[in-house]
Chain A
């Protein structure tokens, strides 16, 4: 996809840094992959270093790490309940990955991999498969009763079951589109306004002010979208664990 250098969409171009071709597959190490590795490395460094030599009275970094842990733990506890404990590591990993991906994408010159539908859809598909597997493992084929809500008139069943199955199948799409659209729109908007700063001369102060406000807003969106992604994961687990 060729996008002009000056286009606000140019920032999303995936470039391969280390070309790797296996058969017909293009497995090149791209800038997108690089920033995913950076995100994972940062998360690991943050959690490992801050809890090394953990004290009863935490240091600043330790308390940040504990805060993120407590936050997700509380989210799982309140939304999934006691049975959600085994899935805490999964939700925590997803939350931290999306959060760091969103936040480092705001650093100028970095790459926003969460603004790519491929990445968010792969994440959402992982959640979808995990939730479906958990549902089948915990309930066996009884899990299929999930699509027949209790108290439904028999007349409605042939109509409602396909509807429920459809809305279940399209969950990963709306989950991924939500994250991708928010990140993509935010980053594009930032660059659109940034493009006006120099060309407007003195009046460039106005778009500059807008960009300052926008980048603060984007920090909020980055955290909020990671939260929404994680909490929807929790809600899907809740559905699969507590069949209605």
Chain B
């Protein structure tokens, strides 16, 4: 702070702001961490409930439809019931572990090697 004490040193301030913004932006989407998703406990509970139940109900419904088309009642429904239950549990696991909505069961690897990040990451509203 003190080394940039002169009031007309706006250029370096701008540079530092740009750098801070770039760093923040580069962090976005890393580790599959959800940066901005804040809800109350009730909202979170509601979300978890939906995430658990929707794939289960949807899976059974989809299985019922497939059975209707293929005449394989009740096998598609049985299979999709268990898959839906699994999908619901995966959703809840990801939500609780803070992995966001990405696939998999552990944080994504860092994507340092992506070339697009390095060149000219500018803030969104600067155009």
Using a CB–CB distance below 8 Å, which chain A residues touch chain B? 69-70, 73-85, 88, 146-147, 149-152, 159, 162-164, 166-171, 173-174, 177-178, 182, 224, 228, 231-232, 234-236, 238-239, 241-242, 244
- What are 14 A-B pairs with beta-carbon distances under 8 A? A77-B123, A80-B29, A81-B28, A149-B105, A150-B109, A159-B86, A167-B87, A170-B87, A174-B51, A178-B47, A224-B39, A228-B39, A239-B100, A239-B101
Q: Are A224 and B43 in contact (CB under 8 A)?
A: yes
Extra contacts besides A146-B103, A241-B29, A242-B111 (8): CB < 8 Å: A79-B28, A79-B36, A167-B88, A171-B101, A231-B36, A235-B37, A239-B103, A244-B102
Instruction: Name the distance in Å between A93's Cβ and chain B's nearest Cβ.
Output: 15
CB distance B58 to A166 under 8 Å?
Answer: yes
CB B47 to nearest CB in A, in angstroms, measures 7
Q: Are B91 and A228 in contact (CB under 8 A)?
A: no
Q: A residues within 8 A CB of B116?
A: 82-83
- CA of A236 to CA of B32, assembled, Å: 11
CA A164 to CA B97, docked complex, whole Å:
17
**What is the number of residues of chain B that contact chain A, defined by CB distance less than 8 Å?**
47
Question: A164 CB to closest chain B CB, in angstroms?
Answer: 5
CA–CA, A69 and B50, complex, Å: 30
CA distance A232 to B100 in the complex (A): 9
Min CB distance A63 to B, Å, is 14
User: Of residues 65 to 93 in B, which have CB atoms within 8 Å of A's CB atoms?
Assistant: 80, 83-84, 86-88, 90-91
A147 proximity list for chain B (CB < 8 A): 103
- One digit per residue, 1 when the CB lies within 8 angstroms of any chain A CB and 0 when it does not, for chain B 94-116 equals 00000011111110110100101
Identify the interface centre among A146, A168, A169, A170: most chain B CB within 10 Å of its CB.
A170
Which residue of B35, B43, B58, B123 is within 8 Å of A228 (Cβ)? B43
B106: which A residues are within 8 A, CB to CB? 151
Q: Give Cα A89–Cα B58 distance, bound, in whole angstroms.
A: 31
Residues of B within 8 A of A173 (CB): 54, 58
The distance from the CB of A130 to the nearest CB of chain B, in whole angstroms, is: 15
**Are B90's CB and A79's CB within 8 A?**
no
Give the nearest-CB partner of B116 in chain A: A83
Q: Is the CB of B102 within 8 A of A166?
A: no
Closest to B89 in A: A163
Provided the pairs A151-B104, A166-B84 are in contact, do residues A81 and B29 lie with their beta carbons within 8 angstroms? yes
A242:B108 contact, CB within 8 angstroms: yes
Q: Top 8 A-B pairs ranked by shortest CB distance?
A: A149-B104, A167-B87, A81-B28, A244-B108, A174-B54, A166-B87, A170-B58, A82-B121
* Cα–Cα distance between A78 and B36 once the two chains are bound (Å): 7
Expressed in whole angstroms, the Cα–Cα distance for A239 and B103 within the complex equals 8
Q: CB-nearest residue of chain A relative to B119?
A: A82
Residue from the set A77, A82, A232, A244 with the largest chain B CB neighbour count within 10 Å: A82
Smallest CB-CB separation from A221: which chain B residue?
B43
Chain A residues closer than 8 Å to B84, beta-carbon distance: 166, 170
Alpha-carbon separation in the docked complex, A69 to B101 (Å): 25
B10: Cβ under 8 A from any A Cβ: no
Q: Which of A77, A152, A232, A241 is B124 in contact with, Cβ under 8 Å?
A: A77
Contacts A73-B125, A174-B51 known; A82 to B104 CB distance under 8 Å?
Answer: no
